[in-house]
Amino acid sequence: MKFRFNYKYGLITILLFLVEVLIAMYVHDEIIRPYIGDVIVIGLIYCFLRTFLEARTLWMVLGVFLFACLIELGQYFDFVELLGLSDNRLARIVLGTTFSWEDILAYALGSILVYGMERMFGNHVD
């Protein structure tokens, strides 16, 4: 694993972040906000890490997936409340408050898409 700045992934991170913010602010439906947003967040976290790190693609994707699953598991145990952040709106939005198996499936799909796109575009690191 090497530390270095990759402006391409930095720009993609900013773009995906803006998409997530727009979804959170303006989309109130049954598919895009709850599921597509969770698929996209995997790409957002992955691209953020790739902005600063060069590491094996598979391990980075798996690490992001496991991180997302840990956050989801924390929701099951109401860790926002345990951290004393239940009155913090931003913490509730970012960390979430409701466990869902569908979210884990969305994270898995996002992980598969990220890995596949990295392979397809030749950006993967072996």
**Domain that includes residue 73, residue range:** 2-119
Residue 40 has pLDDT above 90, yes or no: yes
Question: For residue 123, what pLDDT band results from cuts at 50, 70 and 90?
Answer: confident
Rounded-to-integer distance, Cα 46 and Cα 89, Å: 25
Residue 31 sits at φ, ψ, to 5 deg, of -125, -55
User: Comparing C-alpha atoms, which of 38, 31, 56, 26 is closest to residue 109?
Assistant: 38
- Contact call for residues 58 and 116 (beta carbons, < 8 A): no
User: Are the C-beta atoms of residues 12 and 44 closer than 8 Å to each other?
Assistant: no
What pLDDT is attached to residue 90? 84
What mean pLDDT is predicted for residues 8-35? 94
Using DSSP bridges, classify how beta strands 53-54 and 2-3 pair: parallel, antiparallel or unpaired: antiparallel
Q: Is residue 10 part of a domain?
A: yes
Count of domains for the chain: 1
Q: Is 39 a member of any domain? A: yes
Identify the sign of the CA torsion 124, 18, 4, 42. Answer: negative
Report yes or no on 12 lying in a domain: yes
Burial of residue 72 (number of CB atoms within 10 Å: 0-12, 13-18, 19+): buried
**Average pLDDT, stretch 62-78?**
96
Tell me, yes or no, whether 124 lies in a domain.
no
Residue 35 lies in a domain: yes
- Please state whether the predicted TM-score (pTM) of the whole model is above 0.75: yes
Report if residue 125 sits inside a domain. Answer: no
Q: Which of 62, 58, 98, 54 is nearest to 79 (CA)?
A: 98
